Each structure stands twice: as C-alpha cells, then as structure tokens.
Amino acid sequence: MHRRPLLLLAWRRSALAAIVVLGAVAHGAAAGQAVPEPSASTADTAPANAVGTGDPATPDDPTQGPAATDAAGATSAARTADPSASANAVGTGATEPGAASAVPGPSPRRADAPLGSLFRGPFQSSRLFAMPSADVVGAYMLSLSGDASLLEKPGILTSAGVIAIGFGDIAQLEYRHTEAIGITGLNAPVPAVGVQLKLPLPERSGVPALGVAFRLGVPRSEPLAGTVIDETVTDLYLVGRLRFASLPWLTLHGGTRISSAKATPRDGSPAEQRTLWLPTAGYELDMTARAKIVGEIALAPQFQWMPSVSARPTIGHGLLGRLGMRWRVLPSIVLDGSLGYQVDDAAPTEGFDAVVKWDIRLGAEVFVPWGALACRAVGAFCD
C-alpha cells in the first residue's frame, strides 16, 4: 500500500546522491592533479633576467631594475613566436579555485599549428542549462551540446540539444530545443532556430554584460484525445550577466523571456495564441578550476486543453527549476548532470507528489574550433 511512495522517495535520494558523488569526483580530480609544468612565459622569465643584467636571476625582488623589463620583453617574444604555448597555458584551466573565468580567445588559426593546440581553448559556453547567458561561443567556434533524462517522473524520457556556431565575437547562429510544458503536462523541449548577440560593452566589476537572443519556433506535435496539437514557441530573450571582483567565484544571471506561444489542433478546433513575459534567473558557483555548480529557475509557456471542457486550448505558464554541476574534463569537453523540478500547482491538495514532477538529466558540451581546423586543412579562415 505504501510501497510506491517509498520507491519514489528512494529514487529521489538516489538522484541527489548521484549529483553529490559527481561533485565529489570532480573535486577529487581537481585536487589530485599534479602540479602543472611551467608555461612558456614562466620558463623563460629566469633566463631573461640573467641575460638582461649579466648576473644570475635574483628571485628576492624580481620587480626591481632593468631585469624585469628584459624579462617582460623576452616573455612577450616567446608568446609571439609560439602562440600555441600561450593557448596551452590559458586553455587548460590551470587556475586557482575561485579564480575569475578566463575571457575566451581565438584558437591559433595557422596552417602549421599543431592539431592538439587547437583544442586547448579557452572555450566559452553560451548557456547555463536551458537559459542563455550574455555570452557567445566565440569567433570561428562550434558548440555541440545535448542532454537526456536518465530518470523521470512520470516515466517519459526526453532529450534536448543545442548547435551553436560563432562567426564573430558578438554573434552566433543556433538550433536548439527551448523549454516549454506540453499539452500532456511534461516539460518536453520545443525546437527553434535563432541568433544570439552579445552587446559589445566593456566589462567591469559590478556592471552587467548584456545579451539578446531570438529563437524562431518550429512546430512540435503532441497527440491528445484522438487528435494532434501542433505547439510552437517563438522567444526573445533579454539577459544579463553580473560578476564582482570581490567575489570571483560567483556569477549571477537574470533576464526576461518574451514568448509567443501558439497551439493549433488538427481536428479543426480553434487555435490559441498568446504572448507571455516570463522572468528567468540563474547562478554559477566555481567549486574548482574545472567544476562549477549551476542553478536556474524560470517561468515557461504551458499548454493545456481538456476537449470535454473547453472548445480550444489554453496557454499559461509553469515554473521550472534545475540544479546541477558542470565539469570540464578536457578544455574542449564539458560534462553536466542536473536534477530538475516542474511545479504544477501552487495550491496542492494531494501532498508533495502533486506539487512537482522531476527528472535527472545527463549531458555534455563539445567545442570544435572549426575556423582553426579549416585553416590547417585547406588554408581558409587563417589569421
């Protein structure tokens, strides 16, 4: 009699335990890394001091005298002669925990660039989980990401993906699945194509970076009561990202999603269309140089229809939340796992199980420097 609630409770505890284990593994991997070898700039600093002054390097006060000037010149020359070494030093993410996120720079687009150096980054994601950020993937860059539900109540599994290609430092084209709650009551992603822009403003501590994303909805079909309903969601996102120099481990995100949602039954019943203003917010906490906790909460369009009660569908909004971890296992590969909740009723009458539906999703994001690869292969898009 009480077996089903106990099983649901066990699944939820297993879900939370899985995310905790993922975080522990990420933290242990970062803590157990060997001390990185000196980068090209560090390795060349001491010899530069010796050459610049004619005396052995003096580590007691390396900022005094002409030695520092000569060292800086030698370091700059070393980076100019070997850009791949500089990309390696930055792209591996070998920074102290809590350090501010690196500003992405282009991969070396040279015909003679070593293949391995092209995938050392740094790389910048343009999303949290479902929410876009005020960033783009970068010039001559391709991002492929996807996730799927590992477990879900009430047991219908879903998947979603994003393909984003950058042609400049402020814009990207993309195909993605955007969040919406379907006629059947499930958070089933809706396909869309669009463009995302980052406003070219100087970034300062305490001053938000701003972005705009437009997504043109592609119809998705759902069967219901012997008929089929075509659901379409077209979105305009206005988002911001905020960082503080005093809290380099924290990044805040917020914005508004303006959605034009439409439901069209194929049985000839009247269609319904509505424009919704939906707030969204999220945050990132840097736990190590390679792992971060990510959370987001947002209102999303919700389609509803009971043919026996109403002649046409109705469109409202539902509350969606997601909490999980993103772990950069390699500079160009990020794994993520998250636990999501969907709130169905603000005034439940049947206990906790009537309030939410939940799912566990696992996914990954892979960055491909297509411009650098094209340069190396055929000599196109080179610096």
CA distance 307 to 332: 49
Domain-wise residue ranges, the chain: 41-100, 116-378
Q: Which two tokens stand for residue 248?
A: 């380099």
**Angle (CA) 15 320 217, round 5°:** 120
Over range 193-204, report the average pLDDT.
Answer: 92
Task: Return the pLDDT at 253.
Answer: 97
Task: Return the pLDDT at 153.
Answer: 62
Task: Return the pLDDT at 315.
Answer: 94
Residue 148 has a CB neighbour count (10 Å cut-off) of 15
CA distance 108 to 51: 29
Over range 23-31, report the average pLDDT.
Answer: 47
Query: Of 141, 140, 137, 87, which Cα lies nearest the Cα of 116?
Result: 87
For helices 83-91 and 40-53, give the axis angle rounded to 10 degrees. 130
Average pLDDT, the chain: 75
Q: What is the model's pTM? A: 0.69
- Proportion of the chain above pLDDT 70, given as a percent: 66
Phi and psi dihedrals of 289, rounded to 5? -65, -20
360, 157 contact by CB (below 8 A): no
Query: Of 330, 314, 331, 325, which Cα lies nearest the Cα of 363?
Result: 325
More reliable by pLDDT, 140 or 44: 140
How far lies 355's CA from each of 260, 296, 349, in Å? 26, 19, 9
Q: How far is CA 363 from the centre of its chain?
A: 11
Q: How confident is the model at residue 209 (pLDDT cuts 50, 70, 90)?
A: very high
Torsion on CA atoms 212, 236, 178, 123, rounded to nearest 10: -10
Q: Tell me how far apart the terminal alpha carbons of the chain are, to the nearest angstrom.
A: 69
Grouping H, G, I as helix, E, B as strand and the rest as coil, residue 50 is helix
Q: How confident is the model at residue 13 (pLDDT cuts 50, 70, 90)?
A: low
Buried/exposed code over 342-355 (b: 16+ C-beta within 10 A; e: otherwise): beeeeeeeeeeeeb
Q: What is the DSSP string of 327-365?
A: EEEETTEEEEEEEEEEE--SS-SS-GGGTEEEEEEEEEE
The owner of tokens 């809590």 is 98
Is the pLDDT at 300 greater than 70? The verdict is: yes
More reliable by pLDDT, 97 or 325: 325
Is the pLDDT at 161 greater than 70? The verdict is: yes
Q: Which two tokens stand for residue 188?
A: 């089933």
Residues 6+ apart with CB under 8 A from 280: 131, 237, 239, 254, 255, 256, 257, 296, 297, 298, 299
- Superfamily for the 116-378 domain: monomeric porin ompg (2.40.160.40)
pLDDT digits (tens, 9 = 90+) for 302-312: 998 888 888 88
Is the pLDDT at 283 greater than 60? The verdict is: yes
CA distance 264 to 234: 14
Is the pLDDT at 71 greater than 80? The verdict is: no
